[in-house]
Structure 1
Amino acid sequence: MKRDEKNQGYIGMMASQFLAGLLALLMSAHSVTAQDATPPGDKKVEYSPYPEKSFPNTVYFGDTHLHTSFSTDAGMVGNIRGPEEAYRLARGEAITSSSGLEVQLSRPLDFLVVSDHAENLGLAPAIAESNENLLLNAWGKAVHDRAKVSNDPIGAYEMWITQVNAKDDKLDGSGMSKVFWQRSNEISDKYNEPGLFTALIGYEWTSMPNGNNLHRNVVFRDGMDKTSQIVPMSSYDSDDPEDLWAWMAAYEKKTGGRALAIPHNGNLSNGLMFDDVTLISKKPIDNDYAQRRMRWEPVIEVTQIKGDSETHPALSPNDEFADFYSWDTGTFGANPTTPDMHPREYARAALKRGLVYEEKLGANPFKFGVIGSTDSHTAIASTEEDNFFGKVSMAEPSADPHYRLDEVIVGRFLADPSKQIRHFQTASGGLAAVWARENTREAIWDAIARKEVYATTGTRLRVRLFAGWDYVESDLTRSDFAEYAYQHGVPMGGDLTAAPGNKAPSLMVRALRDPDGANLDRVQVVKGWVEKNGEAFEKIYDIAVSDGREIGKDGRCKEPVGNTVNLEDVTYTNAIGDAFLQAYWKDPDFDPEQRAFYYVRVIEIPTPTWLAYDRKVFGSKIPEGGKQVHQERAYTTAVWYTP
C-alpha cells in the first residue's frame, strides 16, 4: 500500500472513531437533557390537542337486553349458558351454545348488559347445582325435585309460571335472589375492562299486567361495590313503573350510585306503554309524572327480536317503510291488540303526543331517546342474519321446524290462533349505538342518560345528526366537522329553542354503511309537529339518496333503490346503493311558533334475512308470510324544537 493510501486509511479510521465517540456523547447528553430540558420559549407548548377534547368521537355498539340461564324463562326451557358465556361471546370468544353448536360473533361487541329477570333470579342454575338456599325452602325443594329427581323440567317450569302469575313469590325469604344477584355482579365486574369492553350491571323488571308487556331493563352506572348493596326490585313487589322509579331513587340515595330504566318496545303493551293515564290509579298524567318519567326513563328500546315499534302502517299510511316486523295482533295475555291501541304503543306516535302534552302540561312525558337490543334468551347476543341463534334456546339453528319456525312467541292464550306470532316472524336485531368519548361504564351510561344514542336493526351502520341555527352546507366538508357541529349546535337528543330571527333549523347528517354490510338506500328526516289547534302531524323528507336518484319537490324520492338479492344462493351485491351519504337540510316548512321534533332514519339496500339462510342451510320450508328479504335500518334519537 502506498504511503498516501495508508495515511488516508489511518485518517479515515480516526475520523470514524471520532464521529462514533461524538455520536455516543450526543446520545448520552440527549438522554440526560431529554428529562430536564423544557421546550423553547417561555410558554409550555402542548402538541397533542386531544387530552383536552371532550366531545363524543366514537360510536360503540352493544346490547342492553340479553338473558342467560339465570333468567328462569330461559334456564328452565333449555338455556344452560350463564353470564360468563354471554360476556365471553360478546368480547369475541367462541362458545358452545345450549344445543351444542359452536358460535362466535363476526365482530365483538363494545358493551353488554346481562339483563336477567329479577323474578326468582337464578332458579334454573340453583336447581342444577342443588343450591342449599333453594333446598331449605319447601317450595324450592319441591320444584327442585320435580325437575331433577322426577326428571320433569316442564312440570317444574309450570309450577314456577303458576306462582309468578299469582304474584306469589314462594322463594321469598330464601335469600336466593341475593345469592345469584351477587354472583351476577361478580361476573360483570370480572369481565368489565375499561377502554376495551364494558360490562354494565343490570337486570329486567318484568311488569306484565294481564299479560301486557311493560317490562323495563334497569341499568346501573356503578360496579358491584354499590349494586351489591341491594336486591333487585321485581314484579312480585309491584307492576307499577312509578314504584320502580321510587325504588331507583332509594337506590341512589342509599349508595350514591346512578340508575336508569329502559322500557321495552311498546308494540306488545296493548296500549299501556305510552298511555294517557297512570297504570294503577288511572289518573291523567300530569307535569310531575312527565318529569319523573323522563328522569328515570330517558330512552326506550324501539326495535328487537319481538318486532319493531318505530311506527305502524295504520299510523303512518304515507310511509312505505313503516311495515317492518310489525307484531300487532296480541301480547302474552288473552286480550287481542286492537287498532285504537296503536297510538299508545309506537314510538313516533308517542313522540307526537309528547309535544301535545308539553303544550298542555309544560312537560313532555315521551321525550325519549331510542336504542335497539336483542332480548335474546340464549346468552348469545348475535344479530347477524347468517348467524341468528333464535329468541330462545329451543329455537337455535336446526332443521326441525317445530321450534325454529313454529314455536308460538306471542298470542299463546288468544282465542283466535291466526293472531299468534311464531318464531319464523322474529327479527334478528337489534343493537344499541352510543356516541361516547371512551368505552367505560361511566361514559356509556352517561351517553344513554343524555340520549346521544340511536337504534339499529342489527347492522352496525354509523349515523351522525346535528341541528343548529347557523350551519351552512359547506360545514359538511369541514375537517373539524364534529367539533364545529358540537360548538354551534346540538347532537341527537338535544334541544333547540326560540328560533333566532325566525330562522329555520338546519340539520347536518352523515351516514356510513356497516363496513362489512350493505350499502345505503337513503337518509330520511322524520318530522313531527303540533298545530295551533293541538293536533299533531308528521312528515317524511328524503334528504340523501343513492345512485344519483332524484328527490322531488315534495321532498320524496319515488324511485326504489333496486334489489340485488339472489335467493337461490342467498347473496346480494353492493352494486347498488352508496357506502356513504351525507346531507345538509333546512326545514322548508318551519313555523317558529310550533313545537317540533326531527329524527333521522337510514335505510339500507335489500339483503337476505335469517329465514333465507335457514332455507339454504337446512332446506327449511318457509311458512307463508315469512320474510326472506328486508331492508335493515337505523333510527336516531330526535332533536326537539321548543318555541
Structure 2
Amino acid sequence: MHKLSKLLFLTSLLSSTFLLSSCDSDILNPADIQADVKQAPYPQQVFWGDTHLHTNNSVDAFGFGVRLGPDDAYRFAKGEKVKATGGLDAQLRKPLDFLVIADHSDGLGVTRRIYEAPRWALKDPLLKRWHDQMHEGPEGSLAVTSELIDRAAAGTLPAAMRNQENQEENSRTIWQENNKIADRHNRPGKFTAFIGFEYTLMPQGDNLHRVVMFRDGKKRTNKVLPFPGLDGSNIEKLFDYMDNYEKNTGGKVLAIPHNSNLSNGLMFQMTAPDGGAMTAEMARRRAKHEPIMEVTQIKGDSESHPYLSPNDEFAGFGDAGWELGNLTMSAKKQNTMLAGEYAREALKRGLAIEAKTGVNPYRFGMIGATDSHTALATADEDNFFGKHSGTEPNKNRAAEPQNLGTREGRFGWQYLAGGYAGVWATSNTREAIFDAMMRREVYATTGPRMQVRLFGGWGFTPQDFAGNWVEKGYSQGVPMGGVLPAQSGVKGAPTFLVSALKDPDGANLDRVQMVKGWIDAQGNLHEKIYNIAWSDMQKRPINAAGLIPSVGNNVNLQTATYENNIGANELQTMWQDPEFNASQQAFYYVRVLEIPTPRWVLFDRLRYGAILPPDTQLTAQERAYTSPIWYSRLNS
C-alpha cells in the first residue's frame, strides 16, 4: 500500500489516552458580536472565503510539519500577521470574509496528541520514542509518521492507539474545542467562522473526499462527531449522517465534493455507487446534499480537460502532473475515466441522467478553495505558503517533491496557488452565506478576487445596464445558480446580463466566455464556448470560428512583474444564445480570464534563487468560473 494511502487508512484506527489542552488565545468580547445584522434586500456584495483549510489537528498536516492550530488559522484569515511553521511572517494583503476549517475526521488530532502529551504520561516506550523524535524537528516528525504508517499496516500499533472508546473521547474533545474556537471568532457582519470537517472517502486511493459544512454553532454541532470516511462507508452513509443531524438538532449541513480530478472517474458517475442504475431518489438526494462543488484548488483544476473539450483553447488549466493517476498514484489514469472527473462533463451528465430519471443529480454550483495543510488560507501567487509545511517558501520547493514519496510529475511546481470562493449573500453571517451556497449563488476563482455577476432571463437588453441592472436581474430573471424555466407564450432565446470587474489589486481582464452545455433529442451531449466580451475588441476581431487573437503577455520574467497596459478593467455585456432550441435542456456558465501574470514559482526564483525544472510553467491566465444557470423545459 502506498505511504499516503496507508496514512489515511491509519487515521481511522488511531486513538490515544491523553487529551488536548484548551486553546483560548483569542477570546472575543461578547459586546463586539452583533446579534442582529441587517440583511440587504438582495445580494449586493460578494464575500470571499476558503471552505477547505487544514490545521495541526489533521493527522497528515501535523505529520508533515504544521504547528499552527485553528486559532492561528482564523486570525490569519481575518488579516492578522502570524508566524508560519517555518518561521516566516505570514499575512494576507486583504482579509477574508469567511473560513471553514476542515480537518480530517479520521484520526482527528492523533499526531498532535503524541507530540503534545507530557512525556511522563506516555507509559508505552514506543509512544515515548515517537514523542522524542517529533520534538527533534521536521525530519523526526516525518520519520515518526512513516513508521506509524508501516506499523498500522502491519497491525503492530500500541494497544493505547487501538482503543475505540479512547478514540471517540479524544475526537469529541478536539471537535468541541474547535467548535468553541469557531464560535469565538465568528463575528456576524464582520467575519464568519464556519464549523466543518473533511470526510475522506477514498476507495483504493480514488479521491471522493467531501468538506462537510454546518450552518450552526457549537450548541448544535457539539451533539455530533465528525463522520469518518475510511471505514468502508459510501456516500449514502454520509447523507444518512447529514439527514440525522438535521432531524435531531434542527440544524443544517451541506457537503462539498473536492477537486474531482483525482477520483479516477468516480466522483460524477452515471450510475449508483454500486454500479447499478441511478434512481430518481438517489439523484434527488445528491442534489439536495451537495449543492456546490470545489472546482479548483492547490491540487489542480477540475473545470475541463483537453481530451473532453478538444475545441476549448483554455481547457486543462493547472492539469500538469495531476492527470497521471488518482490521489495516491495507486492507479494510473485512463482517458475513459476523465468524463467522471471534470465539472463541465458532470454538468452534461446531469442532463443525461435527468432525461432518464426526471432529476438532475449534478445541478451544482462551483467554488474554489485552497486545501492548504499549513493553516494559512492564502491563494495569492506572490504569497503562496505551499500545500503543507514542507513546501512553505524556500528555494527547493518547486523541484522534485520533498518527503512525499516518488509520485513522479506532481507536488512540485505543479501546485496551484489557489483558489477562493466568491459568495453573493445578503450579509456576512453563517446563515446568509450558507443559504447562498444552498441556492448556488457562488463562483470560483483560482485566486484573484474579480467581481463577477450573471443573470438569465427572457427580455434583458443592453440598455438595462444604464439603470439598476442588478435589481432588475433579480426581479426579472435568475442569478447564477438559478433555474430559468420555459415560459408559455415567450418566443426567442434567453438573454443574459454578464459583468466582470477586475481584482482592484490584480490584473486586467482578457475576456469573458459563455460555456453552454445541452442534450439533444437523441440523448447526445454537446458543449460550445462563446467569446462574448473581451478587451480591445476593435483590435482583436473575432473570426468565423468564434476565436479571437491572444491578448498578449507582458510578464517580465526577470522581475516577476507585469503591466496592466493590456486587457480591460471591466467587461460587461448582454448576450443572447444564437443557437437556442426550446426543446433542449441546457446550462450556461461564465468563465472569466485575466491577462497573463507571474506564477508563484517565478517569485521563488526571484526571491530565493530557486532552480526550476525546465518544463516549469512560469506564467498563467488566472480565471473565474460562475455557477451555471439551467434552462429547463421540465418542472424539476
Q: Please, what TM-score do these two structures have when normalized by structure 1?
A: 0.87
> SS of 1:454's equivalent?
strand
Alpha-carbon distance change, 160 to 368 in structure 1, aligned in 2, over 3 angstroms: farther
Matches within 5 A, 1:107-186: 107-130=94-117, 144-151=127-134, 152-162=140-150, 170-174=162-166, 175-186=169-180
> SS of 2:324's equivalent?
coil
Alpha-carbon distance change, 551 to 241 in structure 1, aligned in 2, over 3 angstroms: farther
CA distance in 2, matches of 1:362, 1:621: 55
Tell whether 2:311 aligns with 1:315.
Answer: no
The structure, 1 or 2, with the larger RCO (C-alpha pairs under 8 Å, 6+ apart) is 2
Residues 97 and 103 in structure 1, CA contact (< 8 A), matched pair in contact too = yes
> SS of 2:413's equivalent?
helix
What's the CA shift for 1:404?
Answer: 4.7
CA distance in 1, matches of 2:149, 2:103: 16
Residues 116 and 203 in structure 1, CA contact (< 8 A), matched pair in contact too = yes
What's the CA shift for 1:122?
Answer: 1.4
> SS of 1:561's equivalent?
coil
What corresponds to 1:598 in structure 2? 588
* More deviation, 451-460/491-500: 491-500
Residues 409 and 422 in structure 1, CA contact (< 8 A), matched pair in contact too = no
CA distance in 2, matches of 1:125, 1:605: 43
Residues 299 and 371 in structure 1, CA contact (< 8 A), matched pair in contact too = yes
What's the CA shift for 1:166?
Answer: 8.9
What corresponds to 2:325 in structure 1? 330
What amino acid is aligned across from residue 382 of structure 1 in structure 2? Answer: T
What's the CA shift for 1:95?
Answer: 0.4
Q: Residue deviations 1:450-479, cap 9 Å, x none?
A: 10000000000000000001111111221x
Matches within 5 A, 1:44-123: 53-123=40-110
Matches within 5 A, 1:379-398: 379-398=375-394
What's the CA shift for 1:276?
Answer: 2.1
What corresponds to 1:431 in structure 2? 420
What corresponds to 1:294 in structure 2? 287
CA distance in 2, matches of 1:241, 1:554: 46
Alpha-carbon distance change, 208 to 458 in structure 1, aligned in 2, over 3 angstroms: same
What corresponds to 2:483 in structure 1? 495
Larger Rg: 1
What's the CA shift for 1:77?
Answer: 1.5
* Equivalent of 2:410 in 417, 421, 442: 421
What corresponds to 1:212 in structure 2? 206
What corresponds to 1:348 in structure 2? 344
* More deviation, 497-506/194-203: 497-506
Alpha-carbon distance change, 179 to 52 in structure 1, aligned in 2, over 3 angstroms: closer
* Equivalent of 1:477 in 443, 463, 466: 466
* More deviation, 90-99/283-292: 283-292
> SS of 1:292's equivalent?
helix
The share of aligned pairs that are identical, in percent, is: 47
Across the aligned residues of Structure 1 and Structure 2, the Cα RMSD in angstroms comes to: 2.2
* Equivalent of 2:191 in 185, 194, 197: 197
Tell whether 2:282 aligns with 1:271.
Answer: no
CA distance in 2, matches of 1:313, 1:77: 33
What corresponds to 1:633 in structure 2? 623
Residues 524 and 601 in structure 1, CA contact (< 8 A), matched pair in contact too = yes
CA distance in 2, matches of 1:87, 1:308: 26
> SS of 2:473's equivalent?
helix
Q: Please, what TM-score do these two structures have when normalized by structure 2?
A: 0.88
Q: Which runs of 5+ in 2 are unaligned?
A: 1-36, 135-139
CA distance in 1, matches of 2:271, 2:559: 51
Q: Residue deviations 1:547-580, cap 9 Å, x none?
A: 2345536572421111111111111010000000
Alpha-carbon distance change, 348 to 551 in structure 1, aligned in 2, over 3 angstroms: farther
Residues 194 and 214 in structure 2, CA contact (< 8 A), matched pair in contact too = yes
What amino acid is aligned across from residue 89 of structure 1 in structure 2? Answer: F
* Equivalent of 2:356 in 334, 354, 360: 360
What corresponds to 1:562 in structure 2? 552
What's the CA shift for 1:158?
Answer: 2.8
Residues 526 and 601 in structure 1, CA contact (< 8 A), matched pair in contact too = yes
* Equivalent of 1:442 in 407, 414, 431: 431
> SS of 1:283's equivalent?
coil
Residues 65 and 141 in structure 2, CA contact (< 8 A), matched pair in contact too = no
What amino acid is aligned across from residue 471 of structure 2 in structure 1? Answer: E
What amino acid is aligned across from residue 47 of structure 2 in structure 1? Answer: Y
What is the number of residues matched between the two proteins?
A: 581
* Equivalent of 2:278 in 262, 281, 285: 285
Q: Residue deviations 1:28-62, cap 9 Å, x none?
A: xxxxxxxxxxxxxxxxxxxxxx9785211110010
Alpha-carbon distance change, 482 to 272 in structure 1, aligned in 2, over 3 angstroms: same
Residues 390 and 402 in structure 2, CA contact (< 8 A), matched pair in contact too = no
Residues 270 and 349 in structure 2, CA contact (< 8 A), matched pair in contact too = no
Tell whether 2:462 aligns with 1:467.
Answer: no
CA distance in 2, matches of 1:292, 1:164: 35
What's the CA shift for 1:155?
Answer: 4.2
CA distance in 2, matches of 1:524, 1:512: 14
Q: Residue deviations 1:112-141, cap 9 Å, x none?
A: 001000111112332222179x968x9xx5
Tell whether 2:536 aligns with 1:547.
Answer: yes
What corresponds to 2:571 in structure 1? 581
What amino acid is aligned across from residue 329 of structure 1 in structure 2? Answer: L
What amino acid is aligned across from residue 567 of structure 2 in structure 1? Answer: G
What amino acid is aligned across from residue 177 of structure 1 in structure 2? Answer: S
